[in-house]
Amino acid sequence: MAITLTEAAARHVTRYLARRGKGLGVRLGVKTTGCSGLAYKLEYVDEQAPEDIVFENHGVKVLIDPKSLAYIDGTELDFVREGLNEGFRFINPNERDRCGCGESFRV
């Protein structure tokens, strides 16, 4: 079981936390929504919850709630720039389908 970050994602998170002036890392999870059923949720976090599972890559902590881990185990979090757009990309080997708008996915 593992969640990984690319170097680009780790650099982006590290820079953002430095500008923010605080933060432990990022929390990655899933929520029920959209046309395919699940959507990723990503937020900066200041405190670890007792139930959090923690992974660390390139000096950045990624916290996962145990309920989400079944859906995102093996996921790599990347940060990409495409033209004028930039953002996180989730490379999830458990994904079986993604809705047309890219907002939600199914495992």
pTM of the complete model: 0.84
Instruction: Determine the Cα–Cα distance for residues 35 and 12; give it in Å rounded to an integer.
Output: 29
Write down how long the chain is.
Answer: 107
pLDDT for 65-95, tens place per residue? 999 998 899 999 999 998 889 999 988 887 7
Domain count, the chain: 1
Find the domain containing 50 and state its range: 4-106
Q: Distance between terminal CA atoms of the chain?
A: 16
Only one residue has tokens 């780790």, namely 10
DSSP states of the chain: ---EE-HHHHHHHHHHHHHHT---EEEEEEEEETTTEEEEEEEEESS--TT-EEEEETTEEEEE-HHHHHHHTT-EEEEEEETTEEEEEEE-TT--EE-TTSS-EE-
Of 29, 69, 68, 67, residue with least CA distance to 45: 29
Which domain CATH number covers 71? 2.60.300.12
**pLDDT score, position 94:** 78
User: Which residues does the chain have with pLDDT short of 70?
Assistant: 1, 34-36, 97-106
- Answer left, alpha or beta for residue 58, where phi above 0 means left and psi between -120 and 50 means alpha: left
